[in-house]
Amino acid sequence: MDEIIKTIIDIFFSLSLSLSLKDARALPFLQENFGGIDIFQDFFFFFSLSLSLSLVKLTLNPPEGIIAGPVSEENFFEWEALIMGPEGTCFEGGVFPARLMFPPDYPLSPPKMKFNSEIFHPNIYVDGRVCISILHAPGDDPMGYETSAERWSPVQSVEKILLSVVSMLAEPNDESAANVDAAKTWREDRQRFNDIARRTVEKSLGL
């Protein structure tokens, strides 16, 4: 795990050197945390500012069970994340890779998220796309979420999304199912659901 974090920090530093961007508004924050590294001065530009800051925050202070960062230096708007199956649930022990795709106008619009590995879960489409309320603005109501559910707004963060995904793994919402089959199994045959989940966990570890 330390290796991966180190790699992400490396990518972040090389990114900051290789890109020529125009916003230095993040500097005070970075100086506080990195002791005034000048190379950041050129790093931030308009829309990716909050993305950059999310990355710094996630890298410095990662929430438990989550690692995330850009896939490559070329594309800052596509991230890779590793989500650990939450303890005490049927997904415990699994390590699930996922992609986050940020739109050009992030954070005005939410990112999309897709698991790269197979997960049988009520709120994940068969092709891996994650369907939870925080990834949708109110009004975008494909699954008819309950009105009190957390929604996307420009003051939400990547960290919040990832934490919501972890809690989604722990507590599936079978009321608004993206995978109807999984929702039905979760509701009616918990034993079978747990068995499938355990196989998914083993698969995710390459067993």
Instruction: Enumerate the active-site residues.
Output: 131
- Contact between 168 and other proteins per CB under 8 A: no
Taking contact as CB under 8 A, which single stretch among the options 5-13, 47-55, 66-74, 82-90 is the one that binds other proteins? Answer: 47-55
Cβ closest to other proteins, residue 180 vs residue 205: 180
Contact status, residue 27 vs residue 41, Cβ threshold 8 Å? yes
Hey, which residues between 86 and 105 contact other proteins (CB under 8 A)? 105
Residue with tokens 């199956």: 85
- Among residues 131 and 201, whose Cβ is nearest to other proteins? 131
Q: Are 43 and 21 in contact (CB under 8 A)?
A: yes
Binding status of residue 60 toward other proteins by CB under 8 A = no
Determine the interface stretch with other proteins among 10-18, 65-73, 153-161, 190-198 (rule: CB under 8 A): 153-161
* Site for other proteins contains 25 (CB under 8 A): yes
Q: Which tokens hold the place of 206? A: 């390459």
Q: Regarding beta strands 95-101 and 66-70, do their DSSP bridges make them parallel or antiparallel, or are they unpaired?
A: unpaired
The per-residue DSSP string of 46-94 comes to TTTHHHHHHHHHHHHSPPTTEEEEES-SS-TTEEEEEEEPPTTSTTTT-
Distance CA 31, CA 45 (A): 17
Choose one: 5-13, 44-52, 78-86, 190-198; the region binding other proteins (CB under 8 A): 44-52
Sheet with strand 78-84: strands edge to edge: 66-70, 78-84, 95-101, 112-115
Nearer to other proteins among residue 131 and residue 196 (C-beta): 131
Residues of the shown chain interacting with other proteins in the complex, contacts defined by CB under 8 A: 25-26, 29, 46-47, 49-50, 53, 57, 105, 107-109, 125, 131, 137-140, 142-143, 147-148, 150-155, 157, 180
